[in-house]
Amino acid sequence: MSTTNHLIRNARILGGEPQDIRITEGVIAEIGANLEARDGEQEIAADGLIALPGLVDLHTHLREPGREDAETVLTGTKAAAKGGFTAVHAMANTFPVADTAGVVEQVWRLGRESGYCDVQPIGAVTVGLEGKQLAELGAMADSAAQVRVFSDDGKCVDDAVIMRRALEYVKAFGGVVAQHAQEPRLTEGAQMNEGVVSGELGLAGWPAVAEESIIARDVLLAAHVGSRLHVCHLSTAGSVEIIRWAKSKGWDVTAEVTPHHLLLTDELVRSYDAVYKVNPPLRTEADVLALREALADGTIDIVATDHAPHPAEDKQCEWAAAAMGMVGLETALSVVQSAMVDTGLMGWAEVAERMSAKPAAISGVPGHGRPVSVGEPANLVLFDDQYRGAVNPDSFATRSRNTPYRGMALPGRVVATFLRGEAKVLDGELV
Amino acid sequence: MKRHLISTADLTREDALLILDTAEQMAQVSARSVKKLPTLRGRTIVNLFFEDSTRTRTSFEVAEKRLSADVINFSAKGSSVSKGESLKDTALTLQAMGADAVVIRHGASGAPKLLADSDWLHGSVVNAGDGTHEHPTQALLDAFTMRRHLNPGVGHDLAGRRVTIVGDVLHSRVARSNVHLLHTLGAEVTLVAPPTLMPFGVETWPCQTSYDLDAALNKADAVMMLRVQRERMNAAFFPTQREYTRRYGLDARRLALMPEHALVMHPGPMVRGMEIESDIADSARAVIVEQVANGVSVRMAVLYLLLGGSEPAITTSSSEETGK
Residues of each annotated binding site of B for L-aspartate: 83, 173, 227
pLDDT digits (tens, 9 = 90+) for B47-61: 999 988 889 999 999
Strand A205-206 to strand A192-193: parallel, antiparallel, or no bridges (unpaired)?
Answer: parallel
pLDDT digits (tens, 9 = 90+) for B110-150: 999 999 999 999 999 999 999 999 999 999 999 999 999 99
Helices (H) and strands (E) in chain A, counts: 12, 19
For chains A and B, CB pairs below 8 A equal 77
**Closest CA–CA distance from residue A133 to any residue of chain B (Å):** 28
pLDDT at A200: 97
Q: Helix B288-306 and helix B136-150: axis angle, to 10°?
A: 120
CA gap B221, B181 in Å, rounded: 16
* Residue A4 pLDDT class (50, 70, 90 cuts): confident
> Chain B partners of A199 at a C-beta cutoff of 8 Å?
199-202, 205
Q: Indicate if the pLDDT at residue B80 is higher than 50.
A: no
pLDDT at B308: 75
Instruction: Single out the catalytic residue among A20, A306, A314, A385.
Output: A306
Whether A317 and B86 lie within 8 Å, measured CB to CB:
yes
Strand B44-49 to strand B70-75: parallel, antiparallel, or no bridges (unpaired)?
Answer: parallel
Whether A200 and B176 lie within 8 Å, measured CB to CB:
yes
Q: Indicate if the pLDDT at residue B79 is higher than 70.
A: no
Q: Is A384 a catalytic residue?
A: no
Question: Which of A126, A118, A169 has its CA nearest to residue A145?
Answer: A118
pTM: 0.94
Question: Which of B238, B239, B262, B240 has its CA nearest to residue B250?
Answer: B262
Query: Which of A200, A205, A321 minimises the CB distance to B108?
Result: A321
The DSSP annotation for A187-236 comes to: GTT--EESSHHHHHHT--EE-HHHHHHHHHHHHHHHHHHT--EEE----S
> Chain A partners of B202 at a C-beta cutoff of 8 Å?
199
Q: Indicate if the pLDDT at residue A61 is higher than 50.
A: yes
Please give the average per-residue pLDDT across B281-295, as a whole number: 96
> Chain A partners of B173 at a C-beta cutoff of 8 Å?
202
**Chain A nearest-CA residue for B180:** A200
Contact A110, A71 (CB under 8 A): no
Please give the average per-residue pLDDT across A5-24, as a whole number: 98
Superfamily of domain B136-290: Aspartate/ornithine carbamoyltransferase (3.40.50.1370)
pLDDT digits (tens, 9 = 90+) for B87-117: 999 999 999 999 999 999 999 999 999 999 9
Question: Which of B216, B173, B74, B82 has its CA nearest to residue A322?
Answer: B82
Whether A318 and B80 lie within 8 Å, measured CB to CB:
yes
CA gap B22, B322 in Å, rounded: 10
Exposure on the CB side of residue B93, measured as CA atoms within 13 A: 11
Strand A85-90 to strand A253-257: parallel, antiparallel, or no bridges (unpaired)?
Answer: unpaired
pLDDT at B84: 67
pLDDT at B2: 80
Query: Residue A411: enclosing H or E segment and its boundaries?
Result: strand A409-419
Strand A302-303 to strand A149-150: parallel, antiparallel, or no bridges (unpaired)?
Answer: unpaired
> Chain B partners of A320 at a C-beta cutoff of 8 Å?
81, 107-109, 131
Residue A93 marked as a ligand binder: yes
* Residue B70 pLDDT class (50, 70, 90 cuts): very high
* Residue B314 pLDDT class (50, 70, 90 cuts): low
Residue A61 marked as a ligand binder: yes
Q: A220: burial class by Cβ within 10 Å (0-12, 13-18, 19+)?
A: middle
> Chain B partners of A277 at a C-beta cutoff of 8 Å?
none
| Summary mean pLDDT of chain B | 91
Give the residue, A271 or B322, on which the prediction is more confident.
Answer: A271
pLDDT digits (tens, 9 = 90+) for B156-200: 999 999 999 999 999 999 999 999 999 999 999 999 999 999 999
Query: Which of B110, B117, B200 minimises the CB distance to A318?
Result: B110
Q: Helix A237-248 and helix A208-225: axis angle, to 10°?
A: 10
Q: Indicate if the pLDDT at residue B81 is higher than 90.
A: no
The DSSP annotation for A50-114 comes to: EEEEPEEEEEE---TTT-TTT--HHHHHHHHHHTTEEEEEE-S-SSS-S-SHHHHHHHHHHHHHH
Residue A224 marked as a ligand binder: no
Mutating which of B114, B204, B231 best tests the A interface, going by the most A Cβ atoms within 10 A? B114
Contact A295, A346 (CB under 8 A): yes
Residues of each annotated binding site of B for carbamoyl phosphate: 55-56, 105, 135, 138, 268-269
CA gap B309, B307 in Å, rounded: 6
A interface residues, B as partner, C-beta within 8 Å = 191, 194-205, 271-273, 313, 316-321
Q: A122: burial class by Cβ within 10 Å (0-12, 13-18, 19+)?
A: buried
Q: Indicate if the pLDDT at residue A289 is higher than 80.
A: yes
pLDDT at B234: 76
Whether B201 and A203 lie within 8 Å, measured CB to CB:
no
Whether B108 and A200 lie within 8 Å, measured CB to CB:
no
* Residue B75 pLDDT class (50, 70, 90 cuts): confident
Which residues does residue B223 pair with via DSSP β-bridges, in sequence order? B164, B264
pLDDT digits (tens, 9 = 90+) for B3-49: 999 999 999 999 999 999 999 999 998 888 988 999 999 999 999 99
Please give the average per-residue pLDDT across A151-155, as a whole number: 97
Q: Indicate if the pLDDT at residue B232 is higher than 90.
A: no
| Summary mean pLDDT of chain A | 97
**Closest CA–CA distance from residue A274 to any residue of chain B (Å):** 9
**Chain A nearest-CA residue for B114:** A272
pLDDT digits (tens, 9 = 90+) for A220-262: 999 999 999 999 999 999 999 999 999 999 999 999 999 999 9
Whether A202 and B134 lie within 8 Å, measured CB to CB:
yes
Looking at the domain A5-50+375-430, which fold is it? Answer: Urease, subunit C; domain 1 (2.30.40)
Residues in chain A: 431
Q: Indicate if the pLDDT at residue B309 is higher than 80.
A: no
Query: Which of B88, B134, B176 minimises the CB distance to A317?
Result: B88
CATH number of B8-134+294-306: 3.40.50.1370
Percent of chain B at pLDDT above 70? 92
Residue B322, C-beta contacts closer than 8 angstroms, at least 6 positions apart: B24, B25, B28, B154, B312, B314
Residue A306 marked as a ligand binder: yes
**Closest CA–CA distance from residue B135 to any residue of chain A (Å):** 11
pLDDT digits (tens, 9 = 90+) for A163-197: 999 999 999 999 999 999 999 999 999 999 999 99
Query: Which of A194, A203, A273 minimises the CB distance to B109?
Result: A203
The CATH class for the domain spanning A54-363 reads alpha beta
Residue A59 marked as a ligand binder: yes
**Closest CA–CA distance from residue A9 to any residue of chain B (Å):** 48
Q: Per-domain residue ranges for chain B? A: 8-134+294-306, 136-290
Q: A395: burial class by Cβ within 10 Å (0-12, 13-18, 19+)?
A: exposed
> Chain B partners of A198 at a C-beta cutoff of 8 Å?
200-201
**Closest CA–CA distance from residue B256 to any residue of chain A (Å):** 33
Residue type (1 letter), B66: R
Query: Which of B87, B176, B202 minimises the CB distance to A318?
Result: B87
Query: Which of A194, A313, A319 minimises the CB distance to B109?
Result: A319
CA gap B25, B156 in Å, rounded: 14
* Residue B74 pLDDT class (50, 70, 90 cuts): confident
CA gap A359, A62 in Å, rounded: 18
> Chain B partners of A313 at a C-beta cutoff of 8 Å?
86, 88
Whether B201 and A199 lie within 8 Å, measured CB to CB:
yes
Query: Do the two domains B8-134+294-306 and B136-290 of this chain adopt the same fold?
Result: yes
CA gap A160, A224 in Å, rounded: 12
Query: Which of A196, A272, A317 minimises the CB distance to B201?
Result: A196
Q: A249: burial class by Cβ within 10 Å (0-12, 13-18, 19+)?
A: exposed
> Chain B partners of A271 at a C-beta cutoff of 8 Å?
113, 117
In three-state secondary structure terms, A372 is coil
**Closest CA–CA distance from residue B324 to any residue of chain A (Å):** 37
> Chain B partners of A203 at a C-beta cutoff of 8 Å?
109-110, 131-133
pLDDT at B83: 58
pLDDT at A28: 98
**Chain B nearest-CA residue for A313:** B86
Which residues does residue B101 pair with via DSSP β-bridges, in sequence order? B45, B124
Q: Indicate if the pLDDT at residue A293 is higher than 90.
A: yes
